[in-house]
Structure 1
């Protein structure tokens, strides 16, 4: 928290609020965090908070959109290799590193959907779009590997399941288990494509 929030311009204050909201929502849950708590954590006055953001739901939406950009960057970094098979497996290595972080509390998108999905249509829309984009990215890499498109959603489900399992179990074991399952699925798909092309 900073005590100099009154000296910030609106853009800087907005980012300070979003960073504070991200920390609080991820650690405590969205519904547990009121505007007073957000004011105290961000150092931005309530009057300015409401001027910058018309509602708490708007803050949640902006936090998720920021998380989406961060996730895309992590995926791009993890898959930056010329070997599509290794790119796909690198997703699960990325997850293992994330699960090992002390502040890991599961997937912010899954958590947010669980809390607000039934009552906040825009939040639900953002979560669905985020998950769909991740699945589409995996499907792109699957195509580069020469495997059938159906493998993409299967690998995405393994990654999603690993995130939920790791949050509940409190270990990163799920990442390694998902990686092993992904490797088996990828290799079986590639062998099947080789057999088909050899007919």
Structure 2
């Protein structure tokens, strides 16, 4: 792993645990095991380090999701997506979604972390359209939007309230409803 990758990985872990604004450059350099001078040589500003951390998270998250989806039969992938979110929320180091957190801390739509968060969510939604089409759902675009909202709601609910059996059961029931076709009717 290169020095830049090591710094970005350390930064991602700190930002994810503590928040973007709450994490200082001194702490970032200490955790990465480099001097502040070295950190600034690779990332001339904290904002560039935030960007590198989010880009790293985007690649890692989507690759991990793809691995889970690929292991499931196509018709079961909508449920697999929700099970992926449920399993992730139960991990000891779960602190919600790095992109939701970034969009909250960098609220202006023009701020680069917010732009990266939007791009990540758009890429995720595009992947879910593929998932719903491959699963044979009648209206894959509508179904993907619904599945996306179920997943995003599950992430936030687990971040705020902790993982609760009733929340997981509700998300699973909503996906079952969606896959059965009941949830893919266009609103009147």
Q: TM-score of the superposition, structure 1-length normalised?
A: 0.84
Q: Report how many aligned residue pairs link the two structures.
A: 182
State the match for 1:88 in structure 2. Answer: 78
SS of aligned partner of 1:150: helix
State the match for 1:166 in structure 2. Answer: 158
Alignment match of 1:126 (pick from 116, 120, 132) = 116
Give the alignment of 1:1-199 within 5 angstroms: 12-81=2-71, 83-118=73-108, 121-147=111-137, 148=139, 149-171=141-163, 173=165, 174-189=167-182
5+ long unaligned stretches in structure 1:
1-10, 193-199
Regions of 4+ moved over 6 Å: none
Q: Distance in 1 between matches of 2:183 and 2:105?
A: 39
SS of aligned partner of 1:79: helix
Q: TM-score of the superposition, structure 2-length normalised?
A: 0.89
Structure 1 contact 96–172 (Cα < 8 Å) conserved:
no
Q: Distance in 2 between matches of 1:172 and 1:63?
A: 29
Shift of 1:189: 5.0
Q: Distance in 1 between matches of 2:184 and 2:115?
A: 37
CA 34–191 in structure 1, closer or farther in 2 if over 3 Å, else same: closer
CA 107–172 in structure 1, closer or farther in 2 if over 3 Å, else same: farther
Structure 2 contact 79–176 (Cα < 8 Å) conserved:
yes
Q: Distance in 2 between matches of 1:99 and 1:191?
A: 26
State the match for 1:6 in structure 2. Answer: none
5+ long unaligned stretches in structure 2:
none
